């Protein structure tokens, strides 16, 4: 159940901000990759694969971040109440 309070809670806003920042950085990296790297398609594919691996690592860090844990705890408290 998504309440107004939950949608606008500080941990939720922070999480959205982090996602936007990460996506922005990845987009910039991919853009600079196209602009700066004059390489074969296979080399470019390898570099993009590396970027995706970095993105997965960041996503995993985000999933286990303190604000998200707090948000999960808060949701659990609401369900128990």
67 CB neighbour count, 10 Å cutoff: 17
How wide is the angle at C-alpha 25 spanned by C-alphas 27 and 6, nearest 5°?
Answer: 105
- More confident site: 45 or 66: 45
Task: State the pLDDT at residue 25.
Answer: 85
What SS3 state is found at 3? coil
What length does the chain have?
A: 81
Q: Which two tokens stand for residue 47?
A: 């570099």
- Percent of all residues in the chain with a pLDDT value above 70, rounded to a whole number: 74
How wide is the angle at C-alpha 33 spanned by C-alphas 29 and 37, nearest 5°?
Answer: 155
Q: Is the Cβ–Cβ distance between 28 and 51 less than 8 Å?
A: no
């Amino acid at each position: 159940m998504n309440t107004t309070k939950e949608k606008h809670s500080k941990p939720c806003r922070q999480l959205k901000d982090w996602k936007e920042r990460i996506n922005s950085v990845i987009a910039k990296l991919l853009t600079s990759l196209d602009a700066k790297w004059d390489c074969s398609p296979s080399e470019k594919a390898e570099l993009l694969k590396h970027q995706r691996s970095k993105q997965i690592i960041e996503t995993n860090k985000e999933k286990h971040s303190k604000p998200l844990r707090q948000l999960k705890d808060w949701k659990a408290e609401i369900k128990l109440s």
